[in-house]
Amino acid sequence: MAMLIESLEIQNFRLFRHVKLNKLSPMMVVVGGNGTGKSTLFDVFNFLKDALTQNVATAVHRRGGFKELVSRGERGPITLTVKFRESGGRLATYVLKIANENGKPVVEREILKFRRGNLGKPWHFIDFSRGQGTAITNEVAYGVEGAIEERKEYVLDDPSILAIKGLGQFREFRIVADFRSLIENWYISDFHIAEARPSIDAGEAEHLSSRGDNVAQVAYYLYEHHPAQFTKILEAMKARVPGVTDVEAKPTEDGRLVLRFQDGSFKDPFIARYVSDGTIKMFAYLVMLFDPKPFPLLAIEEPENQLYPDLMIELLEEFRSYSDRGGQVFISTHSPDLVNACKPDEVFWLVKENGFTDIRRASDDPLLNSLFEQGDLLGALWKQGLFTGAHPR
């Protein structure tokens, strides 16, 4: 099920007392000063994924408990509303409300509804509160002219378990299961260069882990099963990292894999622990971006770290190409060079006022739009202070 996030509404989640992002493009780049909430915005995706793969109580406790997660001065509920648009045109809305009940986080309300077209009446495929609710049992009839939804009541084992997790395990709830799979396959990067350097147990891995510790296994998998994609990675590395002519994931005698980088100036290759941070990071990003099966959502914080500024425009084009293949991309950055490669509808900035954060979009600002159309680059306009409220005071 190919779906893109069309809008995101956040209420009472830390710095975001109430913000809404509408008409999101396939690629979104967020800028803002330290402490304005860039990491918090990205944690919304991580929170939803944690709540699904574990449960709401665990996701809340991992963030210090309900009192630390809810916006200051607010009692809740914490509400996240995500609207997705299928390639076929159907609009899906997922609403999750989390309350604090007797000191324990519970799902106050969870709704997954679909509608066809802008005027069609939505079908609530699930509608749950505190571990019990109803679900549609005749999914196959959805979209059929004159069809009426049929519902049945269900009870979950725990009021902090999401219904999309509980019911998404069963075949009769195909749409719920597809939606569950969509969120489970979000990729929120927590890349650590130190973990990408050591040798690793031999074997294959189809996708890069969030921490990047299996990059050698993924490189080996691509080399063996997707040689055309691996060749593209090598060509991109040659263009972006001076001297690199080849990269291989080499099995060792003790049954491990090491990454080896060949520099054209030297006879013997360098193993990963001896090459620069930027080289390792660029290779890991390319392995991720040339994945034959893009993640439905890719969230990356500050990809510019350890990379040469002149590479930012090319790297952003790789992210944009990834989004064109079906994986929606969210990026936070402090790099004007990266923002220089963006369009107004792709750039958002965070403004913190009176302890809470608001989100603004470059395409909504008439002056920025006019200057961009005249040839100015958005990163340069940001440095000039024209992103009102984006600079620390």
> How far is it, in rounded angstroms, from Cα 393 to Cα 391?
6
Q: How distant, in Å, are the alpha carbons of 95, 209, 224, 274, 331 from that of 259?
A: 44, 16, 15, 10, 27
User: Residue 93 above 90 pLDDT?
Assistant: yes
Q: What is the pLDDT of residues 318-349, one digit of tens each?
A: 999 999 988 999 999 999 999 999 999 999 99
Where do the CATH 3.40.50 domains begin and end in the chain? 3-21+36-186
Rg (CA), the chain: 23
Rounded CA separation 49/387 (Å): 32
- If you average pLDDT over residues 217-237, what whole number do you get? 90
Q: State mean pLDDT over 146-165.
A: 90
Pairing of strands 347-353, 3-13: unpaired
d(CA 26, CA 5): 8
SS3 content of the chain, % helix, strand, coil (to 5): 35, 30, 35
Indicate the SS3 state at residue 312: helix
The model's pTM: 0.89
CA distance readout (Å), 191 to 69, 258, 331? 24, 18, 14
In the predicted structure, residue 119 carries a pLDDT above the cut 60:
no
Q: So what's the pLDDT on residue 87?
A: 62
The end-to-end CA distance of the chain, in Å, is: 44
Helix ranges, the chain (H): 38-53, 56-61, 66-69, 163-166, 174-184, 193-196, 215-225, 227-240, 277-289, 312-324, 336-339, 366-373, 378-383
Neighbour tally for 199: CB within 10 Å: 19
Exposure string for 20-57, b = 16+ CB within 10 A, e = fewer: ebeebbbbbbbbbbeebbbebbbbbbbbbbbbbebbbb
**pLDDT score recorded for residue 50:** 95
- Is the distance from CB of 140 to CB of 117 less than 8 angstroms? no
Beta bridge partners of 97: 79, 109
Write down the pLDDT at residue 251.
82
pLDDT tens digits for range 259-292: 888 887 667 666 777 778 888 888 899 999 999 9
Q: What is the mean pLDDT of residues 222-246?
A: 88
Instruction: Please write the tens of the pLDDT for every residue from 177-212.
Output: 888 888 999 999 988 888 887 777 888 899 999 998
Distance of CA 359 to the CA centre of its chain: 18
Amino acid identity, residue 112? L
Q: For 223-240, what is the mean pLDDT?
A: 89
Note whether 110 and 78 are within 8 A (CB): no
Q: Which CATH class is domain 3-21+36-186?
A: alpha beta
d(CA 275, CA 72): 45
CA distances from 93 to 113, 115, 198, 245, 267 (A): 5, 9, 43, 48, 57
Comparing CA positions, the residue from 329, 356, 325, 359 lying closest to residue 342 is 329
